[in-house]
Homo-oligomer: A and B are copies of this chain.
Amino acid sequence: MAEYMESLQHLSEQFGRLEGVGRKTAMRLAYSVLDMTMEEAQAFADAILTAKEKIHLCPVCQNLTDRELCAVCRDEARDPSIVCVVEDPRTVMAMEKVREYRGTYHVLHGLISPMSGVTPDQIKLKELLARIGEDERIKEIIVATNADIEGEATAMYISRLISPLGIKVTRLAYGIPVGADLEYADEVTLYRALAGRRDVGDGSSSDASL
């Protein structure tokens, strides 16, 4: 019989709790740990605890940071009048790579999902409302959630909640990805691209407001 090693099984279960790690991958990762030296395993365990201890949420935008405020919130050159609302810290990283956006962020840490039982009070929406209430400089909220059911539902919810406060709520433009072949675009994307069509030469009009 194959040996059941409780500590290996337990380690594999721990890996299985990480996002996107299935049962087989978890076991492969657990075996990898056994290939390490004791010092390497110790360094790995320490890295987990150190990251968890040092990194917390920025009290303003709820993004991850190991300082008092996150890098965006403590940068005085950023425009406090625009807040880009995103699902998670990884979206912030993706947006920052563009290097064109000069506003701030608000990280929801989730999306409203009636299917998975995620209600508005389980994501950082209260914090967004409190921030809008406290910071009168905020003029526009850009909802940058994915174009799936949860993303759309959350965008709609935020729009209904915040538009009445006299703050402009916008959504990222949908369309054909740059460099993609029209032939292979799905119907929904093509429909959105058609619906959101713009005059030729109009390309830079909204970029100016960032």
Please determine whether B18 and A29 come into contact, CB atoms closer than 8 angstroms: yes
Please determine whether A71 and B19 come into contact, CB atoms closer than 8 angstroms: no
Please determine whether A71 and B17 come into contact, CB atoms closer than 8 angstroms: no
The interface bits of chain A over 118-137 (1 if a CB of B lies within 8 angstroms of the residue's CB, else 0) are: 00000000000000000000
CB-CB under 8 A for A11 and B65, given A20-B28, A70-B3: no
CA distance A72 to B43 in the complex (A): 32
Closest to A94 in B: B2
A167 to chain B, nearest CB (A): 26
Please determine whether A8 and B51 come into contact, CB atoms closer than 8 angstroms: yes
Closest to A21 in B: B29
Number of copies: 2
Contact surface of A with B, Cβ cutoff 8 Å? 1-8, 10-11, 13-14, 17-21, 25, 28-36, 38, 40-55, 63-66, 70-72, 75, 88-90, 92-93, 96-97
Closest 8 pairs (CB-CB, A-B)? A3-B71, A2-B96, A45-B45, A41-B52, A18-B32, A11-B51, A7-B51, A19-B32
User: 28 interchain pairs (CB within 8 A)?
Assistant: A1-B71, A1-B96, A2-B93, A2-B97, A3-B65, A3-B70, A3-B72, A5-B66, A7-B47, A7-B51, A7-B53, A11-B50, A11-B51, A14-B44, A17-B36, A17-B44, A18-B32, A19-B29, A19-B35, A20-B32, A30-B51, A31-B90, A33-B52, A34-B51, A34-B52, A38-B52, A38-B53, A45-B49
